[in-house]
Copies of this chain bind each other. A is one copy, B any other.
Amino acid sequence: MARQARAIQTRESILLAAAAVFDERGYSSATITEILQRAGVTKGALYFHFASKEELALGVVAAQLDLGELPPQRTKLQELVDHGLLFAHRLLHDPLTRASMGLAMDQRRDAVEPAPPRGTPYQAWIDRIDQVLKDAEARGELLPHVVPGDTAELMAGAFTGIQGMSHVLCERADLTRRVIVLLQHILPSIAVPAVLPTLDLAPDRAERLLSARHDIRPEIEEPGGAPGVPAPRRTVAVAAR
């Protein structure tokens, strides 16, 4: 049991190190050697968990998707808003989220190197948004012409572009504001009018969600935190602040 706990901790350290290196260097320039150094684990330990750089990338994306559930809200469209605002918050604070975004946006197509799994994060984000929109549709929150799949793809793509532009222009300092502007432009085209004034799009919404909920895992800034596995101490610490 102690051995299993140690294996889980090793896997986490590797994923966080990989996320940090992918984020800083890009997938193509990242090396297993640097990830090993950063994680402070042996080559054997790394290859026990991940057979290749691509598996590391897929592990990072899976861990990002597994970051805390959102609390249910009175409308599914508020949950959609919350997804967007929390994702923006995580891009500012969580290396797993930044690394997943970096993979999606990686443009290098060198013949030498197998391409990063660029489509995987997009597809996962689209599926997640699509599900929330389908639930919203079932509850009568969407205007009748809305095609959830189209809107989900639009939101995944537009969000990615907006955060990329914010990254280039100001290191994401204005990201929350830009995501609110995106939501303010999209929501009136998809929501039944009565839902619109009930939606909370305030800039501090993500922080309020994180501090109010015990079961949302905190953002992880360094090895020792836990992507994809329970981290009870830190969760309590966040719940108490």
Contact = CB atoms under 8 A, between A and B. Distances in A.
A106 to B, nearest CB: 7
Q: Report the interface size class on chain A.
A: 35 or more
Given A184-B189, A186-B189, A164 B153 contact: no
A157 B186 contact: no
Contacts of A188: 188-189
Copies of chain A in the complex:
2
A63 to B, nearest CB: 20
Given A105-B105, A108-B26, A185 B178 contact: no
A82 to B, nearest CB: 20
A26 to B, nearest CB: 5
A4 interface: no
Would you list the 4 A-B pairs with minimal beta carbon distance, nearest first? Answer: A161-B161, A158-B158, A157-B165, A157-B162
Given A151-B185, A160-B161, 15 more contacts: A25-B110, A26-B109, A29-B110, A105-B164, A106-B107, A122-B168, A151-B181, A153-B178, A153-B181, A154-B181, A157-B164, A157-B166, A157-B178, A161-B161, A184-B189
